């Protein structure tokens, strides 16, 4: 796989992480769709391992973000109960 293409994939993955960290879910969605449209068949073993590790890290961040959002929703629900 070409070095430029590899760098573009790495950059895209970093942009995905940033969008998730900033709660920019529209941008996250667009960039994930772009990533998923990329053919990864020609990756070297080293590149595949790197991307696999990044995706595993992304999955962990998504689970954490999901947990934080669930807590916010629960807190808002609890607040509404007390305001009634």
Residue 1 confidence (pLDDT) above 60: no
pLDDT tens column, 16-74: 999 999 999 999 999 999 999 998 888 889 989 999 999 999 999 999 999 999 999 99
The per-residue pLDDT for 56 is: 97
Residue 47 · residue 6 · CB < 8 Å: yes
Q: pTM value? A: 0.78
Please report which residue ranges of the chain form alpha helices under DSSP H. 3-21, 25-36, 45-83
């Amino acid at each position: 796989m070409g070095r430029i293409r590899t760098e573009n994939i790495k950059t895209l993955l970093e942009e995905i992480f940033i969008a998730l960290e900033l709660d920019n879910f529209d941008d996250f969605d667009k960039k994930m769709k772009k990533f998923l449209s990329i053919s990864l068949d020609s990756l070297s073993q080293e590149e595949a391992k790197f991307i696999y590790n990044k995706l595993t890290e992304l999955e962990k961040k998504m689970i954490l973000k999901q947990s934080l959002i669930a807590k916010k929703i629960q807190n808002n629900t609890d607040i509404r109960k007390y305001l009634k």
